[in-house]
Amino acid sequence: MAAFNLGVLLAEAGRDQEAEEMYRRAADTGDTDAANNLGILLTNAGRDQEAEEMYRRATDTGHTKGAFNLGILLTKAGRDQEAEEMYRRATDTGHTTAAHNLGNLLGKFGRTDSAYNG
């Protein structure tokens, strides 16, 4: 927990390299919040493949925000079917922005009945 908290403080201070190190330490102990935050840090640095790995690590243990963030990353990469799955996972646990993104994604492909009914 200490490594995660230090990672947050370092990231807020703009010390991304040090924050990455702390998040990795915490993620390696199974901290899914750290894996998600590391994914965000990596996404912002344009390191999408590494970010995807971190989001998947968080998502595989049921981390809702990790699934949502992975959905965004996959949408950006044009991997819409995978993004749909991630948005559905997050939506199923009550993430309203994921539900919105899912509706937009389904609407984009004319699947308005699916977008409405989930």
Distance CA 44, CA 66 (A): 15
SS3 (DSSP) at 32: helix
Across the range 86-97, mean pLDDT stands at 96
- Tens-place pLDDT, residues 13-46: 999 999 999 999 999 999 999 999 999 999 999 9
Distance CA 8, CA 77 (A): 27
Distance CA 63, CA 4 (A): 16
Give the lowest-confidence range in 63-67, 95-99, 113-117. 113-117
Across the range 58-79, mean pLDDT stands at 97
Find the helix or strand (DSSP H, E) in which 38 lies.
helix 32-44
Cβ 99 vs Cβ 91: under 8 Å? yes
User: Over 70: is that where the pLDDT of 87 sits?
Assistant: yes
pTM of the model: 0.90
E-assigned strand segments in the chain: none
User: Over 90: is that where the pLDDT of 4 sits?
Assistant: yes
Across the range 74-102, mean pLDDT stands at 96
Check residue 1 and give its pLDDT. Answer: 86
Distance CA 32, CA 55 (A): 9
